[in-house]
Structure 1
Amino acid sequence: MRVNGQSRPYWDQVKWSAVANAAGSPATTVPVRTARDGLPVGLQVMGPGGGDLTTIKFAELLGRELEGYRPPPNCA
């Protein structure tokens, strides 16, 4: 995987989901906008144990207010 032009191990990205997994908390990823280079930018919404539907609903409402996901250029 390449990040900012540098090769990174695939498993580097695991740390971003590990916080929610270790805590046993639900987490939902929300696409919020597209970066200048056309790649998607997102947030991770975490909630309390058993709060799966809350994080999903929050992600839905937030997505309505923001740009949301758009496929990168030249991707079909």
Structure 2
Amino acid sequence: MKAARDQTEPVVHDIEAAADQAIAACGGDAREAVKALIVANDFLEAQLEGLWRKVSTGYAQGRLPGTREQRSEPDD
């Protein structure tokens, strides 16, 4: 099991470093860092939803969430 532990240690270190960078980018204010990350996450989710709409149902073989509902909606 030592190999599994070695694989998770860099991930934990990367997360800690990323958290430190986010807080530092917001002037040391952790609350502002959390708000900025929420905004960034919302932006990425919107981009992902747009990409899901562009992928054909046949190509995805039904593996994308909401593909059938999205296809039944009329195009604007």
Q: Is the TM-score greater than 0.5?
A: no
Q: Of Structure 1 and Structure 2, which has the larger fraction of its residues in strand?
A: 1
**Structure with larger Rg:** 2
TM-score range, shorter chain: 0.3 to 0.5
Higher relative contact order by CA 8 Å / sep ≥ 6: 1 or 2?
A: 1
Tell me the TM-score normalised to structure 1 length.
0.36
Q: Of Structure 1 and Structure 2, which has the larger fraction of its residues in helix?
A: 2
